[in-house]
Amino acid sequence: MKVLIVDDEEMIRAVLREYIEFEDGEADEAQDGMEAVKKARENDYDIILMDVMMPKLDGFSAVKEIRKFKNTPVIMLSARGEEYDKLFGFEIGSDDYVTKPFSPKEVMARIHAVINRSQGAAGPKRDVYEFEGLKIDMVGRNVYVDGERAELTPKEYELLFYFVENRGVALTRERLLNQVWGYDFYGDDRTVDTHVKMLRGNLKEYRKFIVTLRGLGYKFEA
């Protein structure tokens, strides 16, 4: 596990490094966003811990730059715990958001969760997925709820398949519109919300896997 710690506070970098190395991980450090972008370009990391408020280049801007050439998972670290900041962090491509002051043990748990999730998403796609009593046959385009075949519209199938293939990823309504309906589709956010509502109804109790991210979009968590 190779981690890039980006924070302008030396004490925070030292604490996180200690916990990472205790678990036999390798830690690299950057003091600001500019240095983080440079190191992310020159090295491959399993995950990046990114502070938000930093000199030269803030964490949000650094993530935007890194996303232009790398898809390395990112956990934002910030004293700013407002909902807007968290949603903005997800929208620009971060994978998690931890508010300071934080527990180093919690950060480590989140590191492992995000890495496992990203490695799972990067792995080979399966033909059949099962989440409790929900079975999804990607090839046969069949969905079963507790053994009974669910009657979905073609667009509901596509929406569910996209959720499953990107499980654990925060998906904006705009991204869902572009990827499921196509860039030339002239609908709006209500199109996505309406189809999600219908899809949830057909999934019955397993609607719980489609989580609403207020002000942003949705995430499939199973």
pLDDT digits (tens, 9 = 90+) for 51-110: 999 989 999 999 989 988 887 889 999 887 677 777 787 777 787 888 888 899 989 988
pLDDT block averages, 10 residues each, the chain of length 222: 95 96 94 96 94 92 88 86 76 82 90 74 67 90 92 87 90 85 65 92 96 92 89
- Are 44 and 118 found together in one domain? yes
pLDDT for the residue 118: 66
Rounded to 10 degrees, what is the CA torsion of 38, 31, 106, 40? 0
Kindly report the pTM of this predicted structure: 0.57
Q: Do 115 and 182 belong together in one domain?
A: no
Q: What is the pLDDT of residue 85?
A: 78
DSSP annotation of 192: H
Instruction: Classify residue 206 by its DSSP letter.
Output: G
Same structural domain, 162 and 183: yes
Q: What is the number of domains present in the chain?
A: 2
| Domain shared by 115 and 161, yes or no | no
Give DSSP secondary structure letters for 103-169.
-HHHHHHHHHHHHHHHHHHHSPPPSEEEETTEEEETTTTEEEETTEEP---HHHHHHHHHHHHTTTS
- Do 134 and 74 share a domain, yes or no? no
Alpha-carbon Rg for the chain in angstroms: 19
Rounded to 10°, the helix 104-122/10-22 angle is 60
Q: Both 140 and 67 in a single domain? A: no
The domain that holds 193 is classified in CATH as: 1.10.10.10
Query: Is the same domain home to 86 and 135?
Result: no
107 lies in the same domain as 23: yes
DSSP classification of residue 45: -
Domain residue limits at 208: 128-220
Residues 107 and 196 in one domain: no
